[in-house]
Amino acid sequence: MSIASLKEQHLTSGGRDLETLVRRHQVGVWRYLRVLGAPAEVADDLVQETFLVAFDKLAEDRGPTAVASFLRACAKNLLLQHRRANGRQEAAIIAAADQLWHEDCDADDGDGWLQSLQHCLNRLDGRSQQAVQLFYRESRSRAEVAAQLGMKETG
């Protein structure tokens, strides 16, 4: 459930309106998460989760300072949970890639994979091939590739 849907329902907790709580503390919580190293899109999601937890847990208004402290602690814990979950996913991806390397690349240090990749790239038409090269070889963003090739970012 999102903050917007909670606002629409006009829920209150201990006499406090969620909208007022969000309005008062949202920017500070988001900035705090960014200082802790959360990317903007992760911070956006975690701010929503923080207020959902706070709305559920804060039964009484303890004053702006105490509420802000509670929100920061909650946001920090959610960020740490997010990082642990991503760490487990990254470990699984690394394990799978390691297994594939041993199965397919041990004998030739990946030369066969590179030859196959080059063969696939050569089979692409000009614009598709250029898009792949710009994105992967030159590390251009989707927006930059789209602009250079005169296409939509989702193209």
Question: Which CATH number is 25's domain given?
Answer: 1.10.1740
The per-residue pLDDT for 8 is 45
The per-residue pLDDT for 59 is 62
d(CA 106, CA 3): 51
Question: Which amino acid makes up residue 50?
Answer: T
d(CA 47, CA 27): 9
Find how far residue 19's CA is from the centre of its chain. 25
Domain-embedded: residue 55? yes
Q: Residue 154 has which token pair?
A: 């989702």
Domain-embedded: residue 15? yes
Residue 91, phi-psi category: left (phi > 0), alpha (psi -120 to 50), beta (remainder): alpha
Question: pTM for the full model?
Answer: 0.56
| Contact indicator for 81, 45 with CB cutoff of 8 Å | no
Domain-embedded: residue 120? no
Domain-embedded: residue 111? no
d(CA 18, CA 26): 11
The per-residue pLDDT for 46 is 97
The per-residue pLDDT for 87 is 87
Domain-embedded: residue 65? yes
The per-residue pLDDT for 26 is 93
| Contact indicator for 127, 149 with CB cutoff of 8 Å | yes
Domain span including residue 87: 3-106
The per-residue pLDDT for 81 is 94
Domain-embedded: residue 114? no
Domain-embedded: residue 154? no
Residue pLDDT tens, the chain, 155 long: 454 544 444 344 444 577 888 888 999 999 999 999 999 999 999 999 999 888 877 766 677 788 889 999 999 999 999 999 988 888 888 899 899 898 988 888 888 888 998 999 999 998 889 999 998 888 889 899 999 999 888 77
Find how far residue 135's CA is from the centre of its chain. 20
Total domain count for the chain? 1
